[in-house]
Structure 1
């Protein structure tokens, strides 16, 4: 007799032992559609949805402008690494329930020995795990739903959406922006590339047809992880040659963020003085983003890969359908260029924030660094509160900003980690949930006060339960 092993048994048992989810305790309000709207339906969004459910906060919706699950988030789209860059045992979406972790999921399907054999999590397996997580926990995501505009109202927001291309307005009390780099600002394209015809270049954020690069000479600008990943895929797809250009004299190799990963710094980072948080962000900018060793090895394994150091593009123009670039004193010709140049952060670049972006406090509004520590790019990062909420540039000018929680890379200077990535989940998701719970509870305190002081509840028993046990003093016989 063959016994079928249920790979979900451990996760199902963990939920059973946890007990039923709390009932939604947030009072309904007329004309309010949602208590919380989560923008972004990938790993961040579904993790928040699960955490809110465990906190008894209902009427939560997740929206994502992607066509479907396969096109949401980065893992099956912009991400091109073979393996994640974080340790395989880093706490993540399981939120303390180990049976929901990647390790438990993987071992239930492939065994403990197979898990022990991998050094880091393969990217496609991580995407598969997140899909399982969403489906197993029955977390719905509304795809093809684009956030166009956030309009502050009296104690709530009107969300102007495009649902399947049709304009629609919904209302919500809280917003979580879990929409990644794009939600923080957008892809950074150097001006030297931006002046070229669009068909001649892409950013790593784009959907690049690497098969179309077969037999072509490709330039990659940038030397962080995404640049090496793009170079590797282009070479694996049959590019004739790939030239990667770095402005630095050597590839960044010192992972300065990793130094601050121990519990003391990790748990207390937000309370570090502004001057020190600024200095840490500046150090990261100065040392650069470190590509993983295997990303470099993936590219240099090809003899037709060429690395250019201290190589800044001075100019570029189109000639006969190709790119002619001057790099230092040399001239190169390419069929296509890829900008692996990262992303910029600037709330003013996000059209959905246009109604109130001038009220959002930025780091330049809260901290003035010494003259030798100035950095224009860091200065426009939003200065976030302890629960990742926007803060007012002028106190009292926009009190509704506290109800928008920013869980994307905008939070880097304030919290010291790439917010939205796995390392930020364990510390910051609970902090945001706690604040949302607090705010929703005390916003309706009068209703809750009436509820918790009410005696409008059926008694557990009546006096007949103990009537026979009541001591009765015997009347003495005279």
Structure 2
């Protein structure tokens, strides 16, 4: 039987063996505060900050709007009890096993405990990310919300925060998780409901307020089921979940996920093939999320029951669905996210200069989708692309490593699965961009001074 130990010791020793981070090589230019600004300090932002420093980029700032109590949005918004990805997926450690979740967990709980879990609990993942940040020493400035991004005269990115502070970075990375470059996707049927009777799963909601109240959940993917289960566990009198599908798409244990080769080459496929595959994508729900909700006798699933209208009347919601009329005290929409940059406050001022998929690719009529067309069209290094060539000098200095990249890269970017290949690709692109941008502006460092003396090798010169 293995004995728990101290994960800090193994982590610090692995970092010692790697050696110090490379010396900073990016020249400082007047008028810039940062070489790279990372917006978001969840699992992606922390991994990116670590990788940038290991690449010799020192002037990096990581900004997060949270108050310091949470790592990303896991504790604030996540309602799933476990991660939805296998525990064996590589994560923020980027190839260093001593920084992996497994190393942290086994050192604390033992190898047998790790073998016994099927997926990582959300609480353990939050604890691991906090530990990871301490080990790699990524400095995070918390409580800083970005209000606006815009170019300066040199093509750098001006960052205005909510308190009016302006900072300038040569590169900006949006590591903003599921909200991406947009926000919650609110269907028209529920758009007029007030916050007193409505919330999206992406909103912060105190589920204790749903005690003894009837709840209607719109949607059938994982977030919808997790919201339904959380409401039931909080004491809701009844919860009804509505889906437009005639049946659920349930992911059962043992199923095969996509190979890393497929995941890491999706962005190289032709636009038509990428669009076709994304059009065929359907949301699913893990079996344990289904079982968690259906364990409650006051939970009901309405299949083939899309909503046509939801009306707020006297503090309740009247729902007109394909299977009849229903009434609920509160409505929760588990309907995912949209990624139109025009709806994102910090991007609103430059949104019309960002190329979207609909600007670049026109699908056949059978595959038309307003939703997919509003995703930003990204380059191979996760960079935004410009609608107009006149903006090509600065638009690609904003990189998108969040869910908005899914249309270009084929998987939920920012999830654990995307870190192993995605972060190195992102950092490689940023390194290359900075080097190329400085050609002609910076004199390469001189080599070692030549000496005419032959005294060290005169005896070996052949005549």
Provide TM-score, normalisation by structure 2: 0.93
Hey, what does 2:36 align to over in structure 1? 36
- The residue that corresponds to 2:177 in the other structure is 180
In structure 1, the residue matched to 2:90 is 91
Instruction: Please say if residues 92 and 422 of structure 1, whose CA atoms lie closer than 8 Å, have aligned partners that are also in contact.
Output: yes
Q: Of the candidates 212, 215, 225, which is equivalent to residue 209 of structure 2?
A: 212
4+ residue runs of structure 1 moved beyond 4 angstroms?
A: none
For residues 358-397 of structure 1, what are the structure 2 equivalents within 5 Å?
358-397=352-391
Deviation (angstroms), 1:261: 2.0
Which residue among 436, 444, 460 is the counterpart of 2:438?
444
Quickly say closer, same or farther: Cα 1:316–1:116, change in 2 above 3 A: same
User: Cα–Cα, structure 1 residues 334 and 435, in superposed 2: closer, same or farther, change >3 Å?
Assistant: same
Q: Give the Cα separation in 2 of the matches to 1:343 and 1:318.
A: 23
Distance 1:293 1:302, change over 3 A: same
Partner in structure 2 of residue 234 of structure 1: 231
Please state how far the C-alpha of 1:291 moved relative to its aligned partner: 0.7
Tell me how far apart the structure 2 counterparts of residues 206 and 352 of structure 1 sit (CA, whole Å): 18
CA displacement, residues 323-380 of structure 1 (integer Å, 9 cap, x when unaligned): 2222225222211111111111101111222332212111112211111111111011
* Count of residues in correspondence between the two structures: 457
Q: Hey, what's the Cα distance between the residues in 1 that align with 2:250 and 2:360?
A: 32
Matched with 1:422 is 416
Q: Distance in 2 between matches of 1:273 and 1:329?
A: 41
> CA separation in 2, counterparts of 1:246 and 1:385?
35
The CA distance in 2 between the partners of 1:398 and 1:447, in whole Å, is 19
Relative contact order higher in (CA < 8 Å, ≥ 6 apart): 2
1:52 aligns with 2:58: no
User: In 1, Cα distance between the equivalents of 2:265 and 2:383?
Assistant: 17
Aligned in 2, Cα 1:471/1:55: closer, same or farther, shift over 3 Å? Answer: closer
SS at match of 1:365: helix
The structural deviation recorded for 1:440 is: 1.0
Pair 1:160-2:154 in alignment:
no
Q: Which residue of 2 aligns with 1:410?
A: 404
* Residue aligning to 1:224: 221
Taking structure 1 as reference, are residues 362 and 293 closer, same or farther at Cα in structure 2, changes over 3 Å only?
Answer: same
Compute the TM-score of the two structures, normalised by the length of structure 1. Answer: 0.91
Contact 1:441 1:448 in 2 (8 A): no
Verify the 8 A CA contact 1:204 1:226 in the aligned structure 2. yes
Over 3 Å counting, the alpha-carbon distance change for 1:393 and 1:6 in structure 2 is same
CA 1:471–1:169 in 2, change beyond 3 Å: closer, same or farther?
A: closer
Structure 2 contact 307–321 (Cα < 8 Å) conserved: yes
| CA displacement 1:279-331 (0-9 Å, x = unmatched) | 000000xxx21110000000001111011011122222233322222222522
* 2:246 corresponds to: 249
How far off its partner does 1:102 sit? 0.4
Partner Cα separation in structure 2 for residue 376 and residue 260 of structure 1: 28
CA contact (8 A) 1:252 1:289 kept: yes
> Which one has a bigger Cα radius of gyration?
1
Instruction: Tell me if structure 2 keeps the 8 A contact 1:214–1:237.
Output: yes
**In the aligned structure 1, how far is the partner of 2:390 from the partner of 2:58?**
29
Separation in structure 1 between the aligned mates of residue 5 and residue 251 of structure 2, nearest angstrom: 45
Which stretch has the larger CA shift, 311-320 or 267-276? 311-320
**Superposition deviation, residue 407 in structure 1:** 0.6
Q: Choose which of 283, 287, 296 in structure 2 pairs with 1:289.
A: 283
Q: Which residue of 2 aligns with 1:21?
A: 21
Per the alignment, residue 476 of structure 1 pairs with: none
| 1:79-137 Cα distance to aligned partner (Å, 9 max, x none) | 11111010101011000111101011111111111111100100110011001101122
* 1:336 matched residue in structure 2: 330
CA–CA distance in 2 between the matches of 1:254 and 1:260? 10
Contact persistence 2:197–2:316 (CA under 8 A): yes
Q: Distance in 2 between matches of 1:345 and 1:158?
A: 22
Cα pair distance change 1:41/1:69, threshold 3 Å: farther
Q: Give the secondary structure class of the aligned counterpart of 1:120.
A: coil
C-alpha separation in 1, matches of 2:353 and 2:314 = 48
Equivalent residue, structure 1, for 2:347: 353
Preserved contact between residue 8 and residue 108 of structure 1 (Cα < 8 Å): no
**In the aligned structure 1, how far is the partner of 2:368 from the partner of 2:4?**
62
Q: CA deviation at 1:456?
A: 5.7
The CA distance in 2 between the partners of 1:131 and 1:264, in whole Å, is 30
Task: Give the structure 2 partner of residue 399 of structure 1.
Answer: 393
- SS of 1:22's equivalent? coil
Q: Give runs of aligned pairs for residues 302-341 of structure 1, distance below 5 A.
A: 302-328=296-322, 330-341=324-335
Q: Tell me how far apart the structure 2 counterparts of residues 456 and 390 of structure 1 sit (CA, whole Å).
A: 43
CA contact (8 A) 1:345 1:381 kept: yes
What's the RMSD between the two structures over aligned residues?
2.3
Q: What is the distance in 2 between the residues matched to 1:472 and 1:223?
A: 80
